[in-house]
Structure 1
Amino acid sequence: MALEDAAHEMFRMAKQYGDADLLAAMKKIEQLHIEADRLTGYADEVRDGRILRVVDRT
């Protein structure tokens, strides 16, 4: 998934900087992982038919 790939890339880049920068990047990476998990859950719900898209044709 693109968000997880971005999180891994940010972690790799953050290791090149100082401790404060690494901690700030880690917080952003953690949030990216949370959002990726949430999107995966939504995709599972769509696939299972628990979430449907409604198109307003008015």
Structure 2
Amino acid sequence: MGKYSEQLKLAVIEDYCSDQSGLTDTAQRHGVDVSSLRKCVAAYRVYQRKEASLL
């Protein structure tokens, strides 16, 4: 999701993580590429794990 703003990325990722919809539905709802969303979600989850381990 390199061509998308950080705000949009975070909003889409949070929507995906908080919703029961799948990647495809979430990507279509926000007009983003499914494979880009998949990569961003994976990176976000790694970041969350690292952040949680610091607490």
TM-score (norm 1): 0.46
TM-score (norm 2): 0.49
Considering only CA atoms, is the larger Rg found in Structure 1 or Structure 2?
Answer: 1
